[in-house]
Amino acid sequence: MELNTWQQCNCNRGSHRFEIDYFLTKDKIAGTAPSPPEVWLVFFINGSKDQKHCIAKSLSILRQAKEVIDIIACREAIAVMESCKQEA
């Protein structure tokens, strides 16, 4: 997968269906670069550009098929939604 190329996938969480826009980058995000063997997985849930989430992932993610990266992005988005739900 190429760095800094927008991708989109659809996910299900129970009966709720949502979209994720994401990209992978080695660039600095909020002044912080990922450590050398990692890249940032940057994603937005439901296409909302207002709420950006960044998670460091192993550089090996770039060798995965898009379908596998979609699954990883969905799992990370669901984890973020679950943590937000618990904080509320």
Convert the pLDDT of each residue in 5-14 to its tens digit: 999 999 988 8
In angstroms, the Cα distances linking 10 to 16, 45, 81 are 11, 10, 15
User: pLDDT digits over 27-86, tens only?
Assistant: 999 899 999 899 999 999 885 556 889 999 999 999 999 999 999 999 999 898 888 766
Select from 32, 35, 34, 51 the least CA-distant residue to 43.
51
**pTM of the predicted structure, to 2 decimals:** 0.85
pLDDT for residue 50: 61
